[in-house]
Amino acid sequence: MIAAARLLVAGLAALLLLGACSTAVEGSAAPARIEFRTVLATGDVGQGGLRLRGEDGVSYLLGPAEIDGTQVASAEVENESGSWVVQVAFTPAGATAFADLSGRNVGKQLAIVVDGALVSAPTVQFAITDGVVQISGNFDQATATRLADRISGS
């Protein structure tokens, strides 16, 4: 399941740094607003929903947030074979919602939005039912720690 979670959130390295940046006064880090949304369309087609442009320059039309930060139980930094990752664990309700969301969207894209910025829109390979995903990228320890702290509200 961890491998599936990595596939789901792969490619976050560059734009996820935006989510780790803060304009808050030091020592008063506000939690990052993290959302998981379905991708309704790509390119300049479709109406309604939220439209965000990805790092790839593609315009994504997104459905409503189906999972948000209130459904995140924790975010912790781990070193996976020399690479720093942020492991996000959902609350029981969040785990159920994510299993449903990923199960309904196998073969489709899900958008991960942090603080209003589209950070990734990976294709779901299969339902992720263990309630844990890893955000991987080219993180150093400090960057991964800042992101985990922002997601968990520390």
pLDDT tens, position by position, 89-122? 999 999 999 999 999 999 999 998 888 888 778 8
- Region 127-146: mean pLDDT is 86
Range 2-21+32-152 has CATH code 3.30.1360.200: yes
pLDDT tens-digit map of 11-39 = 333 333 333 333 333 444 566 788 999 99
Residue 29, pLDDT score: 53
Between CA 5 and CA 57 the distance in angstroms is 24
Q: Which residue has the higher pLDDT, 145 or 147?
A: 145
Break the chain into its structural domains and give their ranges: 2-21+32-152
Q: Which residue has the higher pLDDT, 135 or 113?
A: 113
- In a 3-state reduction of DSSP, which class is residue 114? strand
Q: Find the angle CA(29)-CA(138)-CA(60) to the nearest 5 degrees.
A: 75
